[in-house]
Amino acid sequence: MKSIIRARDKGVKFEVHWSAEDQLIEPNGSMLASYIGFLVRQHIPITCDNWRSPDLKVGKEKIWSEIQRSFHIDESRQKYCIQLAGKRLRGFRSFLSNKFLKDEEGKFVEAERPMKYAEIISADEWDNFVAKRRNEKFHEVSDKNWKRASKPAYPYKKGRTRYARLQQRILAEEKSDATSLPEHVLWKAARVGKDGAVVEAVQNVYDECETLSQTLPSTEVQDCRSVLSRVLNVPEYSGRVRGKGFGVTPSSFYKKPKTKNPTNKEVMETFAELRAQVLQLQNENARYREERCASEAKDTSDRASINYQPKFPEGISPCQLYLSSPTYRIVGKGKVHNTSGELLHHNPLPVGYMKVSVDLVLDKDALLPLPDVVSETTIDFDEGVFGAAHFEIIAKEDMQQLFEHDELGIAVIHTYIWYMYVTLMRGTELCNRFNFIAASRINATLITKNPTSVKNDLVDRFMAADNNTTPSLYFLPFNSGNGGHWVLVAMDLSRLIVYYLDSLSGDWNKYPSMKKTVDA
């Protein structure tokens, strides 16, 4: 570490940079990590078995003061650096054992003190170190760990480039505005060889993570057992986030916004609101029971198994849609409309029901508990729009999505494309330059459930174009499946380039199913 010593003698300190997840990154990240390894060998004996021992306090303080002499670093980073020092000490001890005390088969042998490290390892320390490794219990643990580490199921292939710097490099190469990669994306990248090949086992884990991440509710993902841990089916060690590397803990990675304690006035106001809501619910429940008893008709449909619970706030709120027959399962995501005087297709809702708009279908074969037979507006699409003739039904709530500046459903998106085609493109040269792909056939949910069918639909759409023309761009409104967010994808087949327009910041890693399907 001569460069650090020379700079220190000149009064120069190096700047230290940290990732969004509070990990050391470049520039100077690897330099500081190496320097910490140098310092721990200077100030902590290799005979140390307990990093939390009070006897090491002086040595740890010396390590921290030496770091501050050469690097601009905040006091809040002391814990990270000392923990990294402990990791470096364990690594050095393992290196000494494997290099000088073991043969090629991992068996312990007699060895003299390595003179290369004579300045930092005394003869007594070496003898003590060797004696501990002759212990039978130590041999049992060592053999077990050696066997486990010698044949990893998914070997790490990035050498000394650890997760934090690997993530930094990937984001820089992609020129991304994102600050982090999903755990399973980074985990896979760390297991790609120099030839760029990905072994089948690693790819299978990645694919399963993709599928699982799209089906789990967001609140369920945010726990100490990540999607990657679930797919690998391994226990998660305390204080560790698999696939993120040193320094990232569950508490910091899945951090929740801090909230201040309410004042007494706020507590009383909330209590009064809750009391009023309880009284309202009691009145509604009593009225509902009276009307139900007065009714002679008995409902035997699927909706009899789904209980109405008026717990939604007033207005329009996001919701998940479940059915209990034939099995309890989530079938879609949408919004519940809890507003007074709400109508469904100009008809009042039955007592005990609320109107729900469906934004994302997870089970396209699920039966609606309350069928609607009121007529809607039907728009016929000729095959020039999406390559195959079909129709769209436009209802009142679809129009409200526009009027209320709400998230748009597929029907609205398709109708807008139809209008552009009819008014601007039909019968013109533009039909040879632009084509559209139906969002109802290519979306995150269908990709997860039946990727082969989705790929076939894409190929059929491409082949539907006239043989004598090559459209410049195919436009696909892609639904990410995450709250109904839309991304516009444009595919240039002649140059094999794909563009996408996203109103939210970030990169394609937020939509892995989109990229995977388009690549295929």
Sign of the Cα torsion 138, 144, 150, 156 reads: negative
Parallel, antiparallel, or unpaired: how do β-strands 434-436 and 473-479 relate? Answer: parallel
**Angstrom distance (rounded) from CA 370 to CA 323:** 12
Please write the tens of the pLDDT for every residue from 122-168.
Answer: 999 999 998 888 888 887 887 777 777 777 888 889 888 889 999 99
Please write the tens of the pLDDT for every residue from 24-57.
Answer: 999 999 999 999 999 999 999 999 888 999 999 9
What is the predicted pLDDT for the residue at 75? 92
C-alpha count within 13 angstroms, C-beta hemisphere, residue 151: 3
Banded pLDDT at 394 (limits 50, 70, 90) = confident
What is the predicted pLDDT for the residue at 167? 92
Q: Beta-strand (E) ranges in 36-190?
A: 71-72
Going from the C-alpha of 222 to that of each of 21, 206, 326, 328, the distances in angstroms are 15, 18, 29, 23
- For the question of whether the overall pTM of this predicted structure is more than 0.85, the answer is no
Please write the tens of the pLDDT for every residue from 232-251.
Answer: 887 777 777 888 888 887 77
**Angstrom distance (rounded) from CA 221 to CA 183:** 12
Assess contact for 316 and 335: CB atoms under 8 A: yes
Please write the tens of the pLDDT for every residue from 275-325.
Answer: 777 777 777 767 766 766 665 444 433 333 333 344 678 888 888 888 755
- Residue 10 φ/ψ, nearest 5 degrees: -90, 0
**Angstrom distance (rounded) from CA 344 to CA 370:** 12
Q: Is 508 helix (H, G, I), strand (E, B) or coil?
A: helix
Average pLDDT over residues 448-463: 81
Assess contact for 366 and 354: CB atoms under 8 A: no
What is the predicted pLDDT for the residue at 83? 93
What is the predicted pLDDT for the residue at 65? 94
**56: how many CB neighbours lie within 10 A of its CB?**
20
pLDDT at 373 over 60: no
**Angstrom distance (rounded) from CA 361 to CA 481:** 9
**Angstrom distance (rounded) from CA 291 to CA 289:** 6
Three-state SS annotation for 364-406: CCCCCCCCCCCCCEEEEECHHHHCCCEEEEECHHHHHHHHCCC
Q: Which is more confidently placed, 84 or 463?
A: 84
- Residue 68 φ/ψ, nearest 5 degrees: -65, -25
